[in-house]
Amino acid sequence: MLLSFLSPLHLSSTALIPHRRFTSAALRTQPPPPPPSAPPQSPPNSLSLNPNNLNSSAPPPSLSCALQCPHFQSCSGCTHEYDLHHPSVVDEAAEFFKRHGVFDFTFDSCRLYGWRCRAKLAVRGSSANPLIGLYEEGTHNVVDIPECRAHHPNINAAVELLRKGIAELEVEPYDEDLGTGELRYVQMVVTTHMSSLPFSERYRNGKVQVTLVWNSRSETTPNSEKLNSLANFLWTNGGQRNKINLIHSIWANFQTSSSNIIFGNRWRHLVGERDFWEHVGGIDIYLTPSSFGQANTRAFDSLLRKLHKYVPYGSSVTDLYGGAGVIGLSLAVTKKCRSVRCVEINKESKHCFEKTVSRLPNVGDSNMSWHNVDASLEPLSWLMGSDVVVVDPPRKGLDDSLISALQSLSSVKRKAVTSTSSASNTKEEKRPWVLREREGSVSIQGSANRSESDLLPQTLVYISCGWDSFKKDCKQLLSHKAWHLDKAHGFNFFPGTESIEILAIFKRDSGLTPKKKVSKIKKPKKSSRG
């Protein structure tokens, strides 16, 4: 679920290969020199993204936004070297939306280098020569990527510090064939939310939360002493008391499974700050090391701020596939929503929702709630009572049951009234998923007590990370004439790939055909003279 912020993630390393194709690239703080055959390059920040603005002495448009990555040929992270500002899929998207009545499709290329604030990297090789990076395409051979151009510069710096610690302390990287070794993976996540710094300096000085995935069952195993030594090395050389304050905190995750799952179920905070905060969409959000978060923080913030324009002030919102409710809570604050319901299947997101709510500014009358339930089960019960529905599905797209419910909204009100009038007694609830949702829900009541059970969605906000899935869902929604496309925007969350994220706004059709106005021809008045 690429845009469902904060859903816990347990990726397999086999799934990591295509996933990294879409989410990792190579970076270094200063761009490496171009290949000998290429013409001289201008610095990225001096390049115009409009080829029409390039003068005759500038490089051709195909090289104006080149990756210039030393790892491109071997790393599975990026699929495209040139024209990073305009993937070819953008033209396909523009044509698709034009065919469906949207002629003002826009595309935001976002930051081209140093955009990745979240990285999961495999650790292989030897203690004398550790390899820290991604798998080579189609294999489990790890490619070392110390100069990754996509990574936030401080992730690269933290990787280099980890490399030194592994060598100095003789930490054994994991051997996948034998199941031996100590350090399997490392996750690095950057927070750029540091209120003590001027806003212009916060991104550049982001701090890195490091998670060491250790090949043991718990911290009581014999090799845990080396784990603590490695954590102390990182903190001593990059923590708060160091001249270069690079590290936010260090965590351990314990994993001994021979499967390709990266994270185990056991976590331990080793050193540094326990709470990790980021600021997107106008609110502070809380993340744990097991949380799923957007790798491109700035692009996600840009998408949320664009989204705010299409949600009416004081709306009642349901956020489906909502993770920890970042999208819904952002709307609650910026649009002063009457109510916000966040629906998420993964119960681990509950804690993040509660912590995020604890930092929200005063939201007045807004009622906010989080529900641990599968959005595909009786989705109509979640659609009713809201005038705006936000869907942020996983890459596969919307569940069939939800599409069916969205298609049939025109007949819902009549059925709801009939069923309400015929139900004389309240029956005891026996459905397991409903009981689980009630037990796992969180509710923050505002002062508004207005009943909104008769509301039906008039606006559908679709946030998509899978272009092919979105096209399929979009065609299904439009085919029943229940919805029409109103606006569409694209975002390049992962420069170096053909992946684009879509923010689409659907409006519900009334089902009534407007009458054509007939202009009446005025008859000339008869002259009184005859």
Q: Which positions are catalytic?
A: 465
Residues 6+ apart with CB under 8 A from 359: 277, 283, 284, 286
Across the beta sheet with 483-491, what order do the strands follow?
106-108, 483-491, 501-508, 459-464, 388-391, 316-320, 339-344, 367-372, 442-444
Helical H runs in 24-72? 61-64
Helix (H) or strand (E) holding 247: strand 247-254
C-alpha span between 338 and 343 (Å, rounded): 17
Binding residues: 294, 321, 344, 392
Q: Return phi, psi of residue 343, to 5°.
A: -115, 125
Binding residues for S-adenosyl-L-methionine: 294, 321, 344, 392
Residue for token digits 């796992």?
A: 440
**Most distant pair of Cα atoms in the chain: their distance:** 118
Helical H runs in 77-141? 89-99
Bridging pattern class, strands 316-320 and 283-287: unpaired
How many CA atoms, within 13 angstroms, populate the side-chain half-sphere of residue 138?
1
Strand partners, 320: 343, 391
Of 471, 510, 476, whose CA–CA distance to 488 is shortest?
A: 471
Break the chain down into helix, strand, coil percent, rounded to 5: 30, 20, 50
Contact in structure between 264 and 256 (CB atoms under 8 Å): yes
Give me the torsion for CA of 52, 54, 55, 57, rounded to 10°.
-140
Strand partners, 444: 368
Burial 229-258 (b: 16+ CB within 10 A, else e): ebbbbbbebbbeeeeeebbbbbbbbbbeee
Helical H runs in 380-453? 380-383, 400-407, 412-422, 432-440
Q: What is the three-class DSSP state of 199?
A: helix
Q: What is the three-class DSSP state of 388?
A: strand
Q: Crossing angle, helix 89-99 and helix 467-479, to 10 degrees?
A: 0
C-alpha span between 458 and 121 (Å, rounded): 43
C-alpha span between 183 and 174 (Å, rounded): 6
